[in-house]
Chain A
Amino acid sequence: MLSAEEWGIVALSLKVGGVAVLVTLPVAFALAWVLARYRFPGRVALDALVHLPLVLPPVVTGWLLLIAFGPLGPVGRWLESWFGMTLMFRWTGAALAAAIMALPLMVRAMRLSIEGIDRRLEGAARTLGAGHWHAFRTISLPLALPGILAALVLGFARSIGEFGATITFVSNIPGETRTLPLAIYSALQVPGGEAMVTRLALLSVALSFAALILSEWLVRRTDAGRTQRGD
């Protein structure tokens, strides 16, 4: 059905999406927690900053990444000299671009579920002998779990669909940064590429559809857990 090249594209997309989402998860959770639970000066600005990739043209996000992480950029230079690491034109750079683009969606999903936790349950746990950290681990975190899973699914779907920031930041290199959307775009430029476009596009639709249904189901489970009593 799919050629070896196409399987390679799918595998690369899954790798980029998977790494992007796993690296973003702890950062996104911390941001979601802080935004859901604390009032502090600069909160609105932080909220806006987190949401920026959602509303900015992706090509601008990619350009900003290029400036920051390019060989002459402040972060890029630092990574290069300390770790000998460069993200430009690498799949890791594609993962970074996907991570930035997925961040707002992941923060939103988790924030909703954190805001849905009855904080008085944490108080109850404390009076039963649980320290701060134990109450977080045994009460807050499990109750936020459906939101965390939904964030993973949504973030993953967003990551493997990322186009603009990726192509701007790490270009379109076969086998390195050519993920599904970039491959579709490239195949469209080639005469006779329609069959490949169709296959890859159908694959994208299937992946996104599955992700949406999965996340919807997870969100429903959160709501079910919130109703406390039967009669």
Chain B
Amino acid sequence: MAIDIDIERRLGERVIAARFTAGPGLTALFGPSGAGKTSILNMVAGLLRPDRGHIRVGARTLFGGGVDLPPEARRTGYIFQDGRLFPHHRVRANLLYGFHLADPADRWMAFDEAVAFLGIGELLDRWPRTLSGGEAQRVAIGRALLRGPEFLLMDEPLSSLDAARRGDIMTVIERIRDELKLPVLYVSHDRAEVDRLATQVVEVGE
């Protein structure tokens, strides 16, 4: 399933533009900080509206030609830089937030399966503020997977982690790419990360 993107958006003085087709596997959007990589993910997720262009995932049009699906209808799993867990819900409720909202036919992973896949069984009754960065990021990944997404968006998911945790989460991301075969758009400014994870690299310049 290909993700076909051709979008442009003016933000103040800057124009953020991207045109590429992401195939299966992990597509890294690689470039310096401040190049607008996060804005591109936000446009794909429906959190930021492009001024023009189109976003298509397989046969579905998310944006363009008069279509502008709201974020909740795009079937994306967005993993943010900072986890962004809901502070007023325990880990279990965070994981189930999107699961309960998803159409049962769209779900492809059971709760127990996701918990086992990520090794977060011990964390279910904890509050997000008591988790380490690596634990929070695993929960965030689980929350995104349980929402039944067709593809994942990852915005520098390793940047707030120390070296040991980075290795852990990279292994998880590789397994998402290879075992779950879920297309991933992955934003990074780290060459080593991109070399290890990416199937395809899209350079995002100034």
Contact = CB atoms under 8 A, between A and B. Distances in A.
A230 B131 contact: yes
B130 A129 contact: no
A123 B47 contact: yes
A226 B127 CA distance: 12
Interface stretch (B3-11, B50-58, B72-80, B193-201): B72-80
B87 interface: yes
A128 B101 contact: yes
A231 to B, nearest CB: 5
A127 interface: yes
A126 interface: yes
A58 to B, nearest CB: 38
A146 to B, nearest CB: 10
Contacts of A134: 101
Contacts of A227: 129
Interface in B122-138: 128-133, 136
Which of A134, A138, A226, A227 has the largest number of chain B CB atoms within 10 A? A138
A128 B132 CA distance: 22
Contact of A121 (B45, B71, B77, B84): B84
Which of under 10, 10 to 19, 20 to 34, or 35 or more describes the interface residues of B?
A: 20 to 34
Contacts of A139: 86
B120 to A, nearest CB: 15
B176 to A, nearest CB: 17
Interface string A95-133: 000000000000000000000001011011111111110
A126 B131 contact: no
A129 B147 contact: yes
Contact of B88 (A127, A129, A225): A225
Contacts of B85: 228
A143 B87 contact: yes
Interface string B34-49: 0000000010011100
Contacts of B80: 120, 124
B76 A127 contact: yes
Interface in A127-185: 127-132, 134, 138-139, 142-143
A39 interface: no
B128 A126 contact: no
B70 A126 contact: yes
Contacts of A231: 132-133
Given A123-B71, A129-B101, A130-B101, A229 B47 contact: no
B86 A131 contact: no
Contacts of B97: 125, 128, 130, 138
A231 B74 CA distance: 34
Contacts of B101: 128-130, 134
8 contacts: A120-B84, A123-B42, A126-B72, A128-B101, A128-B147, A130-B72, A230-B129, A231-B132
Interface of A: 118, 120-121, 123-132, 134, 138-139, 142-143, 225-231
Given A126-B46, A225-B87, 7 more contacts: A120-B84, A127-B78, A128-B97, A128-B144, A128-B147, A228-B128, A230-B132
